[in-house]
């Protein structure tokens, strides 16, 4: 919502400071890893938000020690420093809104130590998430955080935003899957935090403090990740419901029984309509005419246990058994309008891919409705999803802004998409008002403004709605301890 | 290791300050919840360590607001404030080593909100862990942290030390099972941290920063706990091995397959000898003559899945199949000296209680060997347990200090017990030297000095061995932000 023109530019490095910084860095970095070339500066001035501000200098470090050099030099010359991976973030977290030095981490992608016997891997944080998964899968493990962008995003980005994606419902978020870190504070000091072990209580928990801090407290250069054994079997349930109320009840039942699904993704009625009207091959999606919500439920586990787990989960998805419907089964009972309209289970990778196609057909269709989507990732307690969805419908009507929702239902993590034409000032204004109401509603339901996309530059001014002034004062104090000169990712995460 | 006489007493409140503080508090607290009575001051001057220092004033708050009053008053009069639950800690963390005000939390034990449908409960932190478990079990849930002292210890103590007990191997530690907190900083400011949801990335993670801080950054008054559905079936495997090397190999195999046990407890050969020689009814323990290590492996899950899970876990406990031993079974193969000497599985609660009796027989027998045990809870990566156990044997021989080990093998969390007569200065000196070598060994193996007992007053001076100076500087900075006058639990957690 905030364009670069709205941003305070006081903290930009002066031309002299930038010149001096560049001269310093030239003595440490070869030409191919240090750039002032306009195309490079432009390219590293954007991420997956609409924000853009060119970098002044772009550096590509290869080691922790080189990052120390970069931070010390930026500090000495009082030049802002923004760290980035592949720029898949949607909140402008890696856009250098005050210019300055951009540190691109994706060449720091080495495996430093892989010890399957200790369920850990230590890597440089510029490694792509999917590459990490490939490496650890060879030994029978996975790293549970796998955001939808996992083919592109770096582990460092996952750490910066605590981004975990769909499997957090069973396996926790990023902060639950990291053992320790190496980082560089804004002072240039090296931070060694955490342990190689799953228990540890020596000192304060700097590991979790840096995770989710979006590069404003330190640059995480290396991470020791906690690995989980790959489940040896998996299946996928696709269930259509009459409406989000019925689907949300199913989500509550799913979360209130011992077989926790590996993922519970949902798509609301507006999104289903988009798919009906705009998907390339809508018949293949087999959306029932009366469906107003879709759940995709992933089940994983050991091979012998999968069948019984799936049965429990299927039963929870179908709802309480009634005399009319003595056992859980595909299809709805006439007596229970909240039972699924249809339910299918895919067991082979091919069948699962076919079912996922419905979910994957969604994003492209959003473009048919409006040129821009304002993509939020609010979170509410699971039991309050139906209230939120009802309120979102009302907000949509009140402000004539199309809202489409999908997301990670098991965590209550809802991707609220406001679809607008940004060239239309009326639509922009309506969207801003609607968004403020969305946030107020989320907070009134005990929720939080961002599950994993982060705050970046875009949501920073909303933070005071959620965080009390006394807590914010402590956060400012922490920021000053780690980054006394305010050089690390200025203009992000917490309001000044 | 540190007696009260060794402690710096500079920070004690002056008699005038104490008098003024007492006068202030008298206007806020009724007589039955504020005490200067010598017996009360003495009783609240100890915990489960050997440290003792009487409190000057003891207060029993009932609400967050009363804790704010206590902190603000202590700060105004510059009097040290030590928070405690039931004093089950073994590191002196709740001993008021500088005197001053002791805040006893165990009357703050209310349920504030219980929402099974959102898998959460919000409580006051003075609630006893076992009471919490009883309340949430009624709705089919449990809270995974359950230290051995769970019948006595408060949730606040669990939070302060990040103490989680045996089930952390499958369910994570305390920090992985808390959603949000309310607390009072040393400034008297109210901290509201975290969310009601399993995802959330707004602001810095003050929740995890306060967990494990042992009351040095803030007093946690209320906590929103993440609940887990109770498994509906459980069984227990008891396996004796020739030595810790064989048992450790089994632990590695157990952690390197997808069916993660709910607990993997171990007891070493020295501890088995104690049980052989001193247990009330050693025959009932059925310890094989040649056994040098014991694993207790708990399996939990859904009823239908338990059998297959148990089979996988049993197989991992038994080791690779060989031509001589074509299927995993009770008893050892002559061809594989590392296979279990005996392995039994208990399915009913009564059978499980019988098997656990071996483990529970251990603690009383320790007293037969020496009047004092120095009880450490170091952690090493799982694969390095056998190396550590070997080194501990050598340290024990070198310094003629009896060392007995047991603990949570799945986390590499080893309770190292040095058994000595504290009246014998030679034994004390040997134990100190031995302990320093234990810590050095642990750190050289990539381990950490405390898994969950905490640092308290006892281990504080060892912290510099583990935490690098630059990280410690940041921790001191955080301490100053939260507690600028240093009134919260002085003399604990991190060295000055």
List chain A residues with CB under 8 Å of B211.
205
Q: Tens digit of pLDDT for each residue in B117-127?
A: 899 999 999 99
Tell me, yes or no, whether A355 and A375 share the same domain: no
Residue of A nearest to B202 (CA): A450
C-alpha A10/C-alpha A98 separation (Å) is 8
Residue of B nearest to A200 (CA): B451
Domain range for A333 is 233-364
Residue in B259, B412, B481 closest to A478 by CB: B481
Instruction: Provide CB contacts within 8 A for B199, sequence distance 6+.
Output: A162, A164, A168, A173, A379, A408, A411, A412, A413, A448, A451, A452
Whether residue A303 is predicted with pLDDT greater than 80 in this model: the reply is yes
| Total count of residues recorded for chain B | 496
Yes or no, beta carbons of B451 and A199 under 8 Å apart: yes
Tell me, yes or no, whether B123 and B211 share the same domain: yes
Q: Tens digit of pLDDT for each residue in A48-89?
A: 988 999 999 999 999 999 999 999 999 999 999 999 999 999
Could you report how far apart the first and last alpha carbons of chain B are, in Å?
Answer: 18
Q: Which of B229, B255, B281 is the last residue of a domain?
A: B229
Yes or no, beta carbons of B192 and A468 under 8 Å apart: yes
Question: In Å, what is the CA distance from B159 to each residue of A428, B289, B436?
Answer: 45, 41, 27
Yes or no, beta carbons of A475 and B211 under 8 Å apart: no
Predicted local distance difference test score (pLDDT) of residue B331: 45
Whether residue B54 is predicted with pLDDT greater than 60 in this model: the reply is yes
Tokens 């014998």 identify what position? B424
Q: Which of A313, A346, A364 is the last residue of a domain?
A: A364
Q: Tens digit of pLDDT for each residue in B144-186?
A: 999 989 999 999 999 999 999 999 999 999 999 999 999 999 9
pLDDT-derived band at B11 (thresholds 50, 70, 90) equals low
C-alpha A88/C-alpha A150 separation (Å) is 9
| Total count of residues recorded for chain A | 496
| CA A389 distance to own-chain centroid | 20
List chain A residues with CB under 8 Å of B475.
203-204, 206
Yes or no, beta carbons of B185 and A257 under 8 Å apart: no
B202 to chain A, minimum CA–CA distance in Å?
6
Other Cβ atoms closer than 10 A to B28: 15
Residue in A232, A309, A471 closest to B206 by CB: A471
Yes or no, beta carbons of B172 and A176 under 8 Å apart: yes
Predicted local distance difference test score (pLDDT) of residue B113: 97
Helix (H) or strand (E) holding A427: helix A425-444
Predicted local distance difference test score (pLDDT) of residue B400: 95
Could you tell me whether strands A101-104 and A57-59 are parallel, antiparallel, or unpaired per DSSP bridges? parallel
E strand map for A101-217:
101-104, 111-115, 120-124, 141-142, 178-185, 190-194
C-alpha B117/C-alpha A253 separation (Å) is 8
Predicted local distance difference test score (pLDDT) of residue B71: 98
Yes or no, beta carbons of A201 and B212 under 8 Å apart: yes
Q: Which of B136, B170, B197, B311 to mutate to test the interface with A (most CBs of A within 10 A)?
A: B197
List chain A residues with CB under 8 Å of B448.
195, 197, 199-202
- For B63-103, the DSSP string reads SHHHHHHHHHHHHHTT--EEEESS---SSSTTS-TT-SEEE
List chain B residues with CB under 8 Å of A204.
209, 212-213, 217, 475, 478, 494
Other Cβ atoms closer than 10 A to B217: 26
Tokens 């053992």 identify what position? A179
Lowest mean pLDDT among A4-18, A244-258, B286-300, B324-338: B324-338
Tell me the count of A-B CB pairs closer than 8 A: 305
Q: Which of B411, B429, B450 is the last residue of a domain?
A: B450
Number of domains in chain A: 3
Question: In Å, what is the CA distance from B212 to each residue of A27, A192, B414?
Answer: 43, 17, 19
A154 to chain B, minimum CA–CA distance in Å?
18
B40 to chain A, minimum CA–CA distance in Å?
30
Yes or no, beta carbons of A413 and B199 under 8 Å apart: yes
Predicted local distance difference test score (pLDDT) of residue A2: 36
User: What average pLDDT does this structure show over B393-409?
Assistant: 94
Yes or no, beta carbons of B475 and A203 under 8 Å apart: yes
Residue in B213, B311, B381 closest to A197 by CB: B381
Q: Tens digit of pLDDT for each residue in B176-225?
A: 999 999 999 999 999 999 999 999 999 999 999 999 999 999 999 999 99
C-alpha A103/C-alpha A94 separation (Å) is 10
Other Cβ atoms closer than 10 A to A443: 16
Structure tokens at B120: 């959460």
Residue B290 within any structural domain of the chain: yes
What ipTM is given for this predicted complex?
Answer: 0.93
- Domain CATH code at residue B296: 3.30.70.2190
Yes or no, beta carbons of B213 and A204 under 8 Å apart: yes
List chain A residues with CB under 8 Å of B379.
195, 197, 199-200
Mean pLDDT for all residues in chain A: 91
Q: Tens digit of pLDDT for each residue in A271-282?
A: 999 888 887 777
C-alpha B295/C-alpha B244 separation (Å) is 10
List chain B residues with CB under 8 Å of A201.
161-163, 212, 448, 450-455
A289 to chain B, minimum CA–CA distance in Å?
30
C-alpha A86/C-alpha B466 separation (Å) is 34
Tell me, yes or no, whether A59 and A142 share the same domain: yes
DSSP-H helix ranges across B127-205: 129-137, 155-161, 168-171
List chain B residues with CB under 8 Å of A257.
140, 229
Predicted local distance difference test score (pLDDT) of residue A3: 38
Predicted local distance difference test score (pLDDT) of residue B322: 53
Residue B320 within any structural domain of the chain: yes
Tell me, yes or no, whether B127 and B212 share the same domain: yes
pLDDT-derived band at B91 (thresholds 50, 70, 90) equals very high
Tell me, yes or no, whether A428 and A441 share the same domain: yes
pLDDT-derived band at A326 (thresholds 50, 70, 90) equals very low
Is residue B15 classed as helix, strand or coil in its secondary structure?
helix
pLDDT-derived band at A409 (thresholds 50, 70, 90) equals very high
CB B321 within 8 A of CB B217: no
Tell me, yes or no, whether A423 and A305 share the same domain: no
Yes or no, beta carbons of B204 and A212 under 8 Å apart: yes
Please calculate the CA angle A357-A362-A364 and round it to the nearest 5 degrees: 105
Residue of A nearest to B232 (CA): A258
Tell me, yes or no, whether A360 and A484 share the same domain: no
Q: Tens digit of pLDDT for each residue in A91-135?
A: 999 999 999 999 999 999 999 999 998 999 999 999 999 999 999
Tell me, yes or no, whether A186 and A224 share the same domain: yes
Tell me, yes or no, whether B209 and B190 share the same domain: yes
List chain A residues with CB under 8 Å of B451.
197, 199-201
Whether residue A394 is predicted with pLDDT greater than 80 in this model: the reply is yes
Is residue A466 classed as helix, strand or coil in its secondary structure?
helix
Tell me, yes or no, whether A144 and A255 share the same domain: no
Residue B47, φ and ψ in degrees, nearest 5: -140, -155
Question: In Å, what is the CA distance from B224 to each residue of B65, B155, B177, B402, B463?
Answer: 18, 11, 9, 43, 30
Residue in A191, A230, A379 closest to B200 by CB: A379
Please list the helix, strand and coil fractions of chain A in percent, rounded to the nearest 5, in that order: 40, 20, 40
C-alpha A379/C-alpha B473 separation (Å) is 35
Whether residue A297 is predicted with pLDDT greater than 60 in this model: the reply is yes
Tell me, yes or no, whether B214 and B115 share the same domain: yes
- Domain CATH code at residue A21: 3.30.465.10
In this prediction, what percent of chain A has a pLDDT beyond 90?
80
A198 to chain B, minimum CA–CA distance in Å?
6
B212: left (phi over 0), alpha (psi -120 to 50) or beta: left
C-alpha B475/C-alpha A175 separation (Å) is 19
Residue B136 within any structural domain of the chain: yes
Tell me, yes or no, whether B127 and B219 share the same domain: yes
Residue of A nearest to B183 (CA): A471
């Amino acid at each position: 919502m905030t364009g670069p023109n709205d941003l305070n530019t006081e903290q930009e490095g002066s031309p002299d400071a930038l010149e001096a910084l560049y001269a310093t860095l030239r003595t440490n970095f070869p030409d191919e890893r240090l750039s002032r070339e306009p195309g490079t500066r432009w390219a590293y001035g954007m991420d997956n938000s609409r924000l853009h501000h060119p970098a002044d200098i772009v550096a590509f470090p290869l080691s922790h020690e080189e990052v120390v050099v970069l931070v010390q030099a930026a500090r000495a010359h009082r030049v802002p420093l923004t760290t980035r991976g592949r720029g898949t973030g949607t909140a402008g977290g890696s856009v250098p809104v005050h210019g300055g030095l951009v540190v691109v981490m994706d060449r720091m992608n080495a495996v430093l130590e892989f010890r399957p016997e200790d369920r850990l891997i230590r890597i440089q944080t510029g490694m792509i998430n999917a590459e990490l998964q490939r490496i650890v899968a060879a030994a029978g493990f996975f790293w549970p955080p796998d955001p939808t962008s996992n083919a592109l995003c770096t582990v460092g980005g996952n750490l910066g935003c605590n981004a975990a994606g769909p499997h957090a419902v069973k396996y926790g978020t990023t902060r639950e899957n990291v053992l320790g870190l190496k980082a560089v504070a804004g002072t240039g000091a090296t931070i060694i935090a955490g342990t190689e072990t799953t228990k540890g209580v020596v000192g304060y928990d700097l590991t979790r403090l840096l995770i989710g801090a979006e590069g404003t407290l330190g640059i995480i250069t290396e991470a020791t990740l906690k690995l989980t054994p790959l489940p040896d079997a998996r299946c996928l349930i696709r269930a259509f419901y009459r409406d989000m109320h019925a689907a949300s009840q199913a989500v509550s039942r799913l979360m209130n029984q011992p077989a926790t699904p590996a993922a519970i993704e949902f798509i609301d009625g507006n999104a289903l309509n988009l798919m009906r009207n705009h998907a390339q091959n809508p018949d293949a999606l087999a959306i029932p005419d009366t469906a107003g919500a879709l759940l995709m439920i992933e089940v994983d586990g050991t091979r012998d246990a999968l069948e019984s787990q799936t049965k429990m989960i299927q039963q929870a998805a179908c709802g309480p058994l009634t005399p009319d419907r003595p056992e859980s089964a595909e299809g709805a009972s006439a007596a229970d309008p909240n039972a699924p309209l249809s339910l299918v289970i895919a067991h082979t990778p091919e069948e699962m891919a076919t079912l996922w196609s419905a979910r994957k057909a969604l994003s492209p269709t959003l473009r048919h409705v409006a040129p821009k989507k304002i993509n939020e990732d609010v979170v509410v307690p699971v039991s309050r999803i139906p209230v939120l969805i009802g309120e979102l419908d009302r907000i949509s009507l009140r402000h004539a802004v199309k809202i489409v929702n999908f997301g990670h239902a098991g965590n209550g993590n809802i991707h609220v998409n406001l679809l607008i034409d940004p060239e239309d000032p009326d639509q922009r204004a309506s969207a801003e008002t609607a968004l403020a109401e969305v946030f107020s509603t989320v907070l009134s339901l005990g929720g939080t403004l961002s599950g994993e996309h982060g705050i970046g530059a875009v949501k920073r001014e909303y933070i005071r709605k959620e965080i009390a002034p006394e807590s914010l004062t402590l956060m400012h104090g922490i920021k000053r301890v780690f980054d006394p000169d305010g050089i690390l990712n200025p203009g992000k995460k917490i309001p000044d």
